[in-house]
Structure 1
């Protein structure tokens, strides 16, 4: 399997930021002649409208510096369930991105099972710190858990680097649940067309 394809298998917790159309305030209600001369009651609540509010534009600041310290394993990621396997893969991707940015391959050791050949192959990417804070972006996961093991399919995007272009792929994480935690047994990758 080519190293580029293996690299594309790693999934990120990051979400791609997007823009939405700018919000516009709703038009004020039209005035109608009053039927009586009494003063209407004033409320602090706005009058309900039947129109859905317009989407708002939010600018999301993207920084190149990740959060301080390596990501911590969420409690749910330890559970021997599909949700636990899903959360574990999300944590694995976050830790991989952090290790990639900081050049700390040893952070991946507690997350992989002994004999994970694809994990060892990926470790070579983590030896030198990178200016990129996110190497993999996770889009969607599909976990299938069995007693003691799980398979999590993850749609990911590998960021463009000086050595490779941006690549979309489906990574299949084979997991085992040992000593009350999930571990990566193998990662297989299929590039998306």
Structure 2
């Protein structure tokens, strides 16, 4: 853990605080202690590259990432630590797929984790379908702002015939939902804590 984290000290309203701090991509820190959970100097995702990257693994938080390392010992992947499920944007999904088609999702076993996992899997299928059919994978995501169903709007933007839409959802991808490994637990960290 020392390679990924630092002890961070700060003051607020004359009081001193400290927490374990994990760096994020915006130059800020994700802070965790027994009394505080938050960010300083900006929020956002964190990225860790371990060894020769064979896949991308997406984790909701740092403790899920660290739990995975303890359980697996794997050192050949790029970790995207979301630090908040809200950071799993369509842009991040597409960028991940463009970089490496093998993506493993380690999201929480709750309704939000289910929703985001399903969204990522659908985007991956549409992306793979576009590759197979020679359609553009440079999607203009600004056109999708404010759209309730961004995926349906993107299908329309790509001019995919309605009769062909069913084929999209049958496309095989290398994006996998890993929550089955910790069924009955909230997340990987919960698995470690309750198994100890």
TM-score grouping bracket, smaller chain normalisation: under 0.3
**Structure of greater relative contact order (alpha carbons < 8 Å, 6+ residues apart):** 1
Give the structure with the higher percent helix: 2
Largest Rg, 1 or 2: 1
TM-score (norm 1): 0.25
TM-score (norm 2): 0.25
